[in-house]
Amino acid sequence: MADEVEAVIARLRAQGRRITAARRAVITQLVEHDGHMAAGELADRVREALPDVHESTVYRALEDLTRLGIVVHSHLAHGPAMYHLATERHAHLVCDECGASIEVPATVTAAFARALRKRFDFEADLVHFALSGRCSACRQTPPGVASRIRRGRR
């Protein structure tokens, strides 16, 4: 895990970028929590580790790392964007019914991306937004029932 953090840091350094405490902490959190963190949660976790770092510094580090191609975000549903390391790039299928998120490796989306480029000359970013639909489990029950059951349990 520490190796993974150092590998990302080495890439930044190779690009001639500064390694600030905030940048290092953001990368560490994304590696430790295996991605899928909203900016707010990420900021909270970084500030648990580095209480002196201001929240706005964390958001700036996140923006910088995104611009530098180290971090990407995806919109999984109607909630906040979720951040990942760019090395873990994958598309998402999100179930409208239960909210389950399925990760789709680039090897699976590549054929679709190629078809879109060929037919429409469009270079699709299949990572930025999730594809919504219904998962296998939810299709076994009529629409609406699963979410009613879930709400009842809370």
Distance CA 87, CA 89 (A): 6
CA 147 to chain centre: 25
Stretch that binds Zn ion, among 8-16, 42-50, 57-65, 130-138 (CB under 5 A): 130-138
Of 98 and 113, nearer to Zn ion (C-beta) is: 98
Burial category of 99 from C-beta neighbours within 10 Å (exposed 0-12, middle 13-18, buried 19 and up)? middle
Is 138 a residue that touches Zn ion (CB under 5 A)?
Answer: yes
Distance CA 148, CA 152 (A): 6
Q: Nearest CA to 134 among 84, 98, 90, 88?
A: 98
Least Cβ distance, residue 1 to Zn ion (angstroms): 18
One residue of 95, 126, 127, 130 binding Zn ion per CB under 5 A: 95
One residue of 50, 86, 98, 102 binding Zn ion per CB under 5 A: 98
Least Cβ distance, residue 13 to Zn ion (angstroms): 26
The residues of the shown chain that bind Zn ion, judged by CB under 5 A, are 95, 97-98, 100, 135, 138
